[in-house]
Amino acid sequence: MRADDVAAASDLANELTAALSRVVRGKPQAVRLALVALLSGGHLLVEDVPGVGKTLLGKALARAVGGSFRRIQATPDLLPGELTGVSVFSKRSEDWEFRPGPLFANVVLVDEINRATPRTQSALLEAMEEQQVTVDGVTHPLPDPFFVVATQNPFEHVGTFPLVEGQRDRFAVVIEMGLPARDTERELLLGRGGAGSLEDMAVVTGPEGLRAAVAAVRRVHCAPAVADYVVDISSTIRVHPEVRLGASPRASLSLLNAARAQAVLGGRSFVSPDDVKLVATASMAHRLILSGGADLHAGSALVRSVLERVPVPRG
Amino acid sequence: MSIVERLKRVNERDAPEESVPFRVAVLVAVVAAASATLSQGVGGSLTRLAVLAGIPFAFWFSHWARYRSGLWLKAGLAFGVLVAFGSFLGSLGDAADGGLAAAQLPLAELFCWVQLLHAFDLPARRDLLFSLMSSMVLMAVAGALSISMELLAYLLVWGTAAATSLVLAYRSELAQVPVLGPAPNRPTSEPRAGLISAGLVRSVTTTVAAVVLLGTGLFSVLPPAGQSRAVTFPQRLSGSVPLPNGGGLSNPSLGGDDPGGGEQSTSGGRASFGYFGFTDNLDTGVRGRPDNTLVMRVRSSSPDFWRGQTFDAWDGRRWSISDSKPGSVSGDAPVDVPLAADEQGTSTGPELVQTFYLERPGPNLVFGARPISTLYFPDRRLFQLVDGTLRAGVSLEEDSVYTVISRRPVATEAILRDSDGSGAAVPDRILARYTGLPAVPQRVRDLAREVTASAPTTFDKVRALEAWLGANTRYTLDVPPLPDGADAVEQYLFEDRIGFCEQIASSLVVMLRSVGVPARLAVGYTPGERNPFTGLYEVRASDAHSWAEVWFPGVGWQPFDPTASVPLSGDGGLSRASSGLASYLTQRLPQLPAWLVSTGVAVGAVAVVVALVVGWLRARRRRLGAHRSWADTALARLEALGAARGRHRRSSETATEYAGALRRAGGDRRLDQVAAIVTRDAFSGAPATEAERQAVARILEEAEATR
């Protein structure tokens, strides 16, 4: 029944793409990669200067997916407890009660994550990794699906705490929005798409549907040759002379999962080398620490050069 | 199931064969086999024309009419076969006096006609294969009739065509198996080339090479054909004319020296292949040897001297025959030849069958190992001399064939050495006729006595004299003229010390006689060279020879010859069919300078090593390629398509990307579809369906066509 599940997931992916594209105009790649992150069960980090629609993408995703949605505006004084929730003493029950924080939602939008302190960031990233929070020794599972969309402006330096390199690979996909094309910007001015259309946007699916889609993506067939190809890419990155810290096995796994999601987006029930290539840059670049430091642009260029070199399997 | 139904089922027609190349290959094989048979003198010109022109027409007709029911055709063909059979019976009656062997040629002719008639009704593959099989039998018939290497050319053509036919038949059969279809595993990488594809050439070459190797290997270990088991043997006269001289010797090849020469043949010199020994008066002063002309072929299971006649009287220069009055030999064919007076006392051994195929006109002597017991000879006029010499009453022209059965005494060194002590006495008749000598120079007698002094037996005396001759004289073809009045033996032994067989053999006979051993001079041919391919001995004029015959009590006449090595009858025989193969081949290799040979050997060795390495690499690649998937080959084809347009696929480029690039460069829009199917086949774990594969093949073919 795999084919049916995958077909349903593909339909869902198509609907999501259509819905998002109506709001986030002129950014098909960003929409695609955002959905790759969503469907692969990972998290999304959107980097760019303010005003190019990072938050809009996050909001649109949240609305399309349905379910519960929380938005967190990160600031230096944001405390971990304000994300995870706190235990309070209830007079009625005469016991400590856990008040869930904003992380307890299906979609969590963390704006300007690099403004939060490293301590808060760590709490957030830990929650993202383990899909649970521990408060006062009690572990509380986070909802399923649990999808974090974080944004940051990497060009701001004053009052920011850049994500520690090792923590960036908690994100399955990192994308840059980029400036819109002239036509798109014009349309935006004329009121087509953008934040204004967000309210008209229909909910495409609910937590149930998304969970099923993510499960279907996990079951997408991967031929041994494609796994080899992924390993080839990772190992080629690792031995690249400019790379100080290369792609971990977790990175390889994440890349393959992203490729699986890409396959579903393409309406297929198997991963092809094309899928791997389509997601490799967004999935890998932010994990690399180059001799010049962790630079997303340099990392992307390096991954692209590696993709140009690694032979694709013939079958 | 009723009998009628069974009959119907058995006679159900197969699907007509569509492959024209297969038909053509079978046609070539059949024509080659028929030509081979006809080239052996089978059939008249009408048969030849009808068969060689008819078979191609019949093949064309079979192809054209392959969908027709052909009931009337079958009836017609059946009638035709009956006519051919009737004609065969008729020709048997004509040739009745030739014995059973005379049926050989008409039978082969009948076979040719049947092959032709059958060729009219070959709609299906099974029929064509049947025709191929019968062409093999025809080839075997030609092989049985053949006595020369001429057949080799036909055999090569037939073998290649037959191998091609089998390969094509197999392919044609494969194409009809729906599951295999056009071989989905490896179809696309080998685009069909016209009639002769590289794959076909490879298959056929491999098959023929394997057959040749295997055949040569078998041939080299096979025992030789044993004693012929036929109940009747070839005999044929060609263009013979009766000789008027009543059993006298005739040898037209000697020109003016022909002993039987009438008025009309007294002119002209000796033919290049004429041997001066085949006369009634051998002059040892004559110089000049016959050339290398092939004078006859001999089929025999064992080599021996093919003796023509003997001489008993010596006058110091010439040999002659003292009792040359021929007696007539009569009887029905085959003629039982009585033991001649001078052969009485000869022990008889197993039969040795020898068939002589004459290639040049020769003397009217019947050659063969002695003593001859049975003779297959078409003419009744036969004459025998007291020494056992047989003469024909007709001239023996080229293409004449006769068969001789000899019962040679079994002789080994041990038997011959023991013969003195066997108690058997030398018949007086032999002693009287074969020990007499004229005034032989004393030093010749002294020498003979001296050399044989320490030899206890006759055999040892012969060997001692042979050894002395071998050590002190030299064989050469360039002998100084014999001075007038000189004794030929003395001149040879003490003056010249060089000579050829007449000098050597005469000396041996004279010296043996001088110590009391009965001996005579025999002339004839040495066995000649055995052609390992035909199994026949090829006797050339230069093989004409003279040697000594020595009487051994209880055994009979034994040939001895210090110059030619012919095994004793008890030691002879061949070990393998391929005996003499190496020497036969090396003697036919041109004489090349040593540096060329060594260079050739070195280049050959390097070539063999390179071929082995290349073969190993290719086999390895093919072994790896055994996993080569349909997707891989289809992608390869796509790559070839792009490469032809100057756009090679980069190794990091996926099929989809590459197809997109080709499409953008003006390629077929459907290439994307090809890439999608190929990608799915390669990575989805589910192979592409047959319809998809065909669609891909179609798109690629069209794209290749618009190249």
Q: Which residue has the higher pLDDT, A263 or A162?
A: A263
B190 in the same domain as B267? no
Of A219, A240, A273, the position where a domain reaches its end is A219
Domain count, chain B: 3
Same-domain check for residues B426 and B500: yes
3-class state of residue B297 by DSSP: strand
* Among candidate residues A219, A240, A272, the one where a domain is terminated: A219
> Is B606's pLDDT higher than 90?
no
Quote ipTM for the complex: 0.88
Residue A29 has pLDDT above 70, yes or no: yes
Are A135 and A180 part of one and the same domain? yes
Which domain range does residue B694 map to?
Answer: 630-705
Q: Which domain holds residue A254?
A: 221-315
Alpha helices in B222-290 (DSSP H): none
- Domain of residue A73, CATH code: 3.40.50.300
A286: which residues sit within 8 A by CB, 6+ positions away? A45, A168, A169, A171, A174, A294, A296, A299
Tell me, yes or no, whether A119 and A214 share the same domain: yes
Instruction: Provide the number of structural domains found in chain A.
Output: 2
Residue in B683, B693, B696 to test binding to A, most A beta-carbons within 10 Å: B683
Residue B478: CATH number of its domain: 3.10.620.30
Q: Residue B189: pLDDT above 70?
A: no
Closest residue, chain B, to A3 (C-alpha):
B684
Find the CATH number of the domain harbouring A282.
1.10.8.80
Please report residues of B whose CB lies closer than 8 A to that of A274. Answer: 654, 656-657, 679
Same domain membership, residue A65 and residue A39: yes
Residues B467-521 pLDDT 10s: 888 888 888 877 888 888 888 888 888 888 888 888 889 999 999 999 989 999 9
Same domain, A203 and A110: yes
- Look at A11-15, A240-244, B96-100, B272-276 and tell me which has the smallest mean pLDDT: B96-100
Task: Please check whether residue B596 lies inside any domain of the structure.
Answer: no
Taking residue B702's Cβ as centre, other Cβ atoms within 10 Å add up to 11
Q: Is B631 on the interface with A (CB under 8 A)?
A: yes
Residues A204 and A238 in one domain: no
Query: Chain B partners of A223 at a C-beta cutoff of 8 Å?
Result: 682-685
Residue of chain B nearest A276, judged by CA positions: B654
pLDDT tops 70 at residue B25: yes
Stronger pLDDT, B574 or A148, i.e. the higher one: A148
User: Based on the domain organization, do A198 and A209 belong to the same domain?
Assistant: yes
CB contact under 8 A, B678 and A315: yes
Chain A CB contacts of B632 below 8 Å: 314-315
Residue B445 sits in the same domain as residue B549: yes
- Could you tell me if A89 and A229 lie in one domain? no
Query: What mean pLDDT is predicted for residues B220-245?
Result: 74
Using the predicted structure, report yes or no on whether residue B568 has a pLDDT greater than 70.
Answer: no
Burial of A266 by CB count in 10 Å (0-12 exposed, 13-18 middle, 19+ buried)? middle
A214 shares its domain with A262: no
Shared-domain flag, residues A65 and A171: yes
Kindly report, residue by residue over B674-704, the tens digit of the pLDDT. 999 999 888 888 888 888 888 888 888 888 8
Q: Is the pLDDT of residue B624 over 70?
A: no
On whether the CB atoms of residues B86 and B36 are closer than 8 A, the answer is no
Q: Choose one of A219, A240, A275: the last residue of a domain.
A: A219
- Point out the residue among A268, A270, A274 whose CB comes nearest to the CB of B654: A274
Instruction: Mark which of B587, B621, B654 sits at the end of a domain.
Output: B587
What is the CB-side half-sphere exposure of residue B523 using CA atoms within 13 A? 26
The runs of H, that is alpha helices, within chain A are 2-23, 28-39, 54-65, 80-84, 118-130, 165-168, 182-189, 195-198, 207-218, 224-238, 249-265, 273-284, 296-309
Within this chain, do residues A23 and A144 fall inside the same structural domain, yes or no?
Answer: yes
Closest CA of chain A from B207, distance in Å = 34
pLDDT of residue B192: 43
Q: The pTM is what?
A: 0.57
Q: pLDDT-based confidence at B627, cuts 50/70/90?
A: low
pLDDT of residue B182: 38
Q: Is residue B599 part of a domain?
A: no
Q: What is the pLDDT of residue B184?
A: 38
The verdict on a CB contact (< 8 Å) between B652 and A308 is yes
pLDDT score for B84? 92
- Pinpoint the alpha helices (H) of B515-593: 581-588
